[in-house]
Structure 1
């Protein structure tokens, strides 16, 4: 059973790393700042959650898992707030989307 949980945990971690890699490559597809920060926020949050879930499964459910769950809860609260604050500051400072002709 321990071998299978290690394999499943490693597979989930690799899926998270692939998701983050494809997300970083996808950032270059967008032209403006607001689209890029939206994609960056989503890729960062989902990739981090997936990797940490793989770590929980790989190391088993113990005190270590409780600490990771606490970190995940704080991360899920603070990451969207930080992204919103950065984007709002850019908007207030006058940064606008350039219209293509």
Structure 2
């Protein structure tokens, strides 16, 4: 199993429950496909470096997880079609 890091930016115009639901969806994809979530850092609402989809802020999450090499592709596919996700990035840790 490889170690990965996910940065997730969720839209700021959602309710607290919708933000948590979006994060739980990403976490569920990881755990549902045989991955293990090692650590979660909720960075809260932060200002974006530049405007994305008319948003200047977003809720940030940093998730460290271990999984097989196929999981990040599936996670990327699901997060791309999730409307409440402003940006995301999955990086393999050395």
Question: What is the TM-score of this pair, normalised by structure 2?
Answer: 0.31
Q: Which has the higher helix share?
A: 1
**Structure label with greater radius of gyration:** 1
Question: What is the TM-score of this pair, normalised by structure 1?
Answer: 0.29
